[in-house]
Structure formats: structure tokens, C-alpha cells
Structure 1
Amino acid sequence: MNALEQVGTLLQLLPVQRAAGGLLLAALGLPLVGVVIVGLDIMPVRFAMMHVALLGIAVGIILGLDPGLSAIVACALAGAGVAPLARTADSLSGAMGLLMSLAIAAALLVLSVSGVNANGAFALLWGSILAVRPTDLMVLGGLAVALPALVVWRRRDLALLLHDRELALCSGVRVQRMTMLLLILVAVAVGSAIRLTGALLVDSLTLLPALAARRLGRSLSSIACWAVGIGLVVNLAGFLVSLAWNLPPGPVLVLAAGAVALAAHLIPERRTTSWRATASSSVPSSH
């Protein structure tokens, strides 16, 4: 059986179809999360949410709830809870570091006191694309609608906030409320991506397409479009390659996304108006 026939055969299987659907839905929303992560300079959020997800998994196991959904709920609550700590742009990363430390300590304490199988809890963090369930698709589908809609609906406010928090405040943007909403969406998205690629490979769905897009786009809208487009191409191509040559999808997706990001950064930078400058120019002059 050649590679093409193997792909065709595997795509007839329901778990493979769900995995493909999950990756396509993820590509419509999760790269936009990467744009937010880079814009707010909260790179530690991926690791913080990994630890929060572990805490949610442990609590879910103890209470007899779905561990995956418990992890997503825990991430959403953590995103909302950390927002009040982020009074300034610089404090966002610090807040994420604090959250990461507290979450892993609480998770380990819960696992120790409850007697829950720690290996089983940690195993859920490694993810499995072929284990995607209908509930996972529903969450990813919701993000695929909510995130692009937010970019279209609040494009100016987002551009200002991702450019300069103080400028956004002076321009009438409800920074605290917008930051909380973004942190909740980022947290839920990272928690959802863990099911697809595992906690350590979340960047392939979020950060790497965004890094490439920021190099290619000149406005927030164009960066968002580039990020989604790159996510779609990388997810589809990486998944088909993994099926054709019987390779683990997660690492293939990371290498594909990393190659695109590297290629984008090798392109000579264009001396054009950036989306940050566009955001600044949209503020009415006081003169």
C-alpha cells in the first residue's frame, strides 16, 4: 500500500476524521490566541495553563468528572482570576509566573493527599489527536467562532491594547475587562489544544503561526488572516504527512509550523507601516 492509499484508508476511520476536524477547527481560532500571547507578552501562559490543567485533571478525577473538561474549566477560571493581578503590561508575565507556581504546588498536593494515580493524571497532559471527542470538537468550534468574531468586532480596541496598554486606557478602551476576556479565551484555548498535541507541543497550534504572521502582516487584520491561513496549511499538511508515513502528528505539526515561522523570518523585512503604528494613528488627536 502506497502513502496515498494509506491516507485514504485511514481517513475512513472515525477517530481520524475527528482528529482532522479538530485540527481544522483549531486552525481557525488558536493562531489568533498566539497573536494575543505575543502582543500581551505573556509567553509563560502556556506553561502556567499546563500546570492549571493538571490541577483541573486531578480535581476532576477525584470528583468523578470528565478530566478534560475539568482541565478546561480550571484554565478558564485561572484566566479570569489572574486578570485583576495584571495592573500593568509588565505585571502580566509576573502574574503568569505566580499562577504557574501556585498551580503546580496545588496539583501535586491534591494528587498526594487524594491518592490519585499521578501517572494517569500526567498522561492526560501528553494529549492524543486520535482521542479527540465530540465535546472537544464543540469547544474548538466555539473558539473558532468566538476568536475571529472578537477580532472583527473589537479590532481597534484589540490593536490598541496589544500595542500599548496605557494608550488603550487613554483612548477609552475598557482595558481591564478586555484583558480578562482575552486571558479567559487564551486559557481555554491552551487547555483545549492540550487534547490535540499535548501540553509541550501547544506552540504548533498557537504561537508559531502567530510569529510567522507577525512577520508577514502589516495590520492586526492582516496578521490575523495570515495566522489563520498558516495554521490551516500547517495543520492539514502536517496531519496528512503523519498519516502517510505513520509518524506521530504532534512533532510533525511542530516541525512544520517551525519551518514556516523560520522561513517567514528569513524574508527581508518590509519598510511599511506596522499594525502598531496603525493602532496609534487611529487615536483621535488632541489638537
Structure 2
Amino acid sequence: MTEMLSFAFMQRALLAALLVGVTAPIVGIYLVQRRQALMGDGIGHVALTGVGLGLVFRTSPVWMAVLVCVAAAVIMELVRSRGNQRGDIALAMLFYGGMACGRLLISKAPTASGTGGSLDSYLWGSILAVDSSDLLTTAVLGAVVIAVTLGLRRQLFAVCQDEEFARVTGIPVRLLNLLLAVMAAVTVTVAMRVVGLLLVSALMVVPVAAAQLLTRSFLATQALAIGLGVLVSLGGVGLAYQADVPPGSAIVLLAIACFALFSALAAPLARRRHRRAAPAALPGQRADGDDVRPAAAEEDPVGSARLAQ
């Protein structure tokens, strides 16, 4: 551990992982509530076009990816809000077209010609890919995401639970939906250097799904999901350093392992809650609530008639 922390690139990677571990679940919980768990995956496809543009024009791939992802997220939300039957087809074309365009641009970029290293680092994440400028960008964008999602927590929760009710109460539903889509896009670009564009959606969803197994309120779920996100992100980066594997793969596999563990713990916990919530047995009833008097009444027709009266 001491040897790992002595390297500057590992310090940057761990700090970036910490930021990603917080921002991904804090946005992902709203996507899960809205049953849009795969939205991050779609944005990740489109982000590759931004990366390719950044490499071609020799600008920051992260900031270029932010611009492209924000535009794509707004388009996705507008298509979703219209409820068009062809919306799924339009989104599929956007996702796959974004990935194909990004791969084409990266192949022609001066810094990526003839090599796949740059592409792999964006698709799967890389410890060495996090430099000082990327860390600063991640910190700034992560702070924006955290401030917006926590500051508007009540309004976003209301919109995700029931849009019609939120609209009746005067909440700007359209604006908040667009804002949430933009925050999801920013989160994807924040996480792509550590987790990778192909796996970032998993970090937005799996910790939330695992936390929901053990918690019963929104705040508790959010807190546990953030803690789990931080744990698997830091653990995944450390495992990637020790085993020389992509950090994104290690992070996601750790998150899935935690989900499996929480699933095993959830069943006995649910049974315990059920026993506590069960009403006390009434006279003539067993503790499980089944009435024992009908059987006795069948043996004594007279007694049965008296009970009926």
C-alpha cells in the first residue's frame, strides 16, 4: 500500500476514483428511479465522438466529450418526452452512430494513428491516463454534479417519482428533466478516464441497485450507494495496480460482487422485518395468523352455529 501511494500517477488515479465513486451513484439513483438505467451506457457511446474530435483537433478530449455528451443528452430527453414510437430507433441510431463516428475520428487522429492504446484507455479506463489536467477537470465537473444533485434533491426526487404530480405542484418538470440528463452526461465524462466509456453506466446503476436491497428510504439508499461507489472505485483502482488489469473492469466486477453479497443478506433481513411487522396472534389464532377455529367448528356443528349467530 505504501509503495502504491508513493507514485504520483496512483495518487491522481485514486483521487479521480474517489470523485467518480461519489458522482456516479449520486446521479445514477435518479436514473434508476426513472427506469433509465441504461441512459449512461448510451451517452458513453456518444462520448466517443467527443473524444475523437478532441484528438483530431488537438484539444482536450474530456471537454470536447462534455460538449458532445450534453448535446446528446438533451436530444435524448427531448425524444423521450415526446413519447414517439420511433424514439427507440432514433436513440439507437444516435448511440451506435456516435460510437462509429468516434472510432473513425480516433483512427485518423495524429496522436492515435496506428495504435489502440488511446482508444482502449477511453473505452476501458487506465490508471496511467489520469494526468493533472484530467484530475482538475474531474474535480470541477464532479463538484458541479454533486452541488446540483444535492441542492435540487427534493425537486429531482419528486420529478422522478411522479412527473404529473410534480407538474401540478408547480415544479419545472421539463427543465429538471433536461438538467438531470445534462448531469448524467457530465458524469459519464467525469468517469471515463477511470472506469471507461463502456462500463461507466454500471457504476451509475449497480451500487444503487445493491443499496436498494438493504435500505427502505431514498436518503439511506443514496448514502449507502455513494459509500459503496467510493469503496469499489478505490478498491478497483488498487486491484488494477496490483494485478495489472484495466481499472474499469476491476471496479465493475467488485460492484457486482457487492450486489451478490447484499442479495444474500437481503433475504434474512426481509424475513426479520416481516416477523416484526406481523400482528400479534388473536385468541383462537396461531402466531402466523391462520385461524384455528374453523377446524374445531367442523367437529362441533352446534358450536359452529353458535359462532355464526
**Are the aligned partners of 1:86 and 1:92 in contact in 2 as well (CA < 8 Å)?**
no
Q: TM-score, normalised by structure 1?
A: 0.79
Aligned partner of residue 213 in structure 2, secondary structure: helix
Residue of structure 1 equivalent to 2:262:
264
Task: Pick closer, same or farther for the CA change 1:265–1:165 going to 2, 3 Å.
Answer: farther
Task: Pick closer, same or farther for the CA change 1:254–1:135 going to 2, 3 Å.
Answer: same
Aligned partner of residue 87 in structure 1, secondary structure: helix
Residue of structure 2 equivalent to 1:240:
238
CA distance in 1, matches of 2:138, 2:130: 11
Q: 1 or 2, which has the higher helix percentage? A: 1
CA distance in 2, matches of 1:10, 1:109: 36
Task: Pick closer, same or farther for the CA change 1:186–1:66 going to 2, 3 Å.
Answer: same
Match among 77, 94, 103 for residue 99 of structure 1: 94
Task: Pick closer, same or farther for the CA change 1:44–1:221 going to 2, 3 Å.
Answer: same
Unaligned residue ranges in structure 1 (runs of 5+): 1-6, 273-287
Residue of structure 2 equivalent to 1:79:
73
Aligned partner of residue 222 in structure 2, secondary structure: helix
Q: TM-score, normalised by structure 2?
A: 0.74
Residue of structure 2 equivalent to 1:31:
25
1:253 deviation in Å? 1.4
Greater displacement, 150-159 / 175-184: 150-159
Residue of structure 2 equivalent to 1:279:
none
1:154 deviation in Å? 2.1
* Residue 173 (1) aligns with residue 167 (2): no
Greater displacement, 237-246 / 247-256: 237-246
Unaligned residue ranges in structure 2 (runs of 5+): 277-309
Task: Pick closer, same or farther for the CA change 1:24–1:93 going to 2, 3 Å.
Answer: farther
Q: CA deviation digits over 1:162-190, x for unaligned, max 9?
A: 21222222222211100111111101111
Q: Indicate the structure (1 or 2) with the bigger Cα radius of gyration.
A: 2
CA RMSD in angstroms, aligned pairs only: 3.1
Greater displacement, 27-36 / 149-158: 149-158
Instruction: In structure 1, give the amino acid aligned to 2:256.
Output: G
Identity of aligned residues (%): 29
* Residue 49 (1) aligns with residue 43 (2): yes
**Are the aligned partners of 1:59 and 1:70 in contact in 2 as well (CA < 8 Å)?**
yes
Q: CA deviation digits over 1:207-256, x for unaligned, max 9?
A: 21111122233222222111111112222233334434554433221121
CA distance in 2, matches of 1:143, 1:264: 31
CA distance in 2, matches of 1:55, 1:93: 21
Match among 6, 10, 14 for residue 8 of structure 2: 14
Q: CA deviation digits over 1:113-153, x for unaligned, max 9?
A: 99984865643333212211223223332344333433432
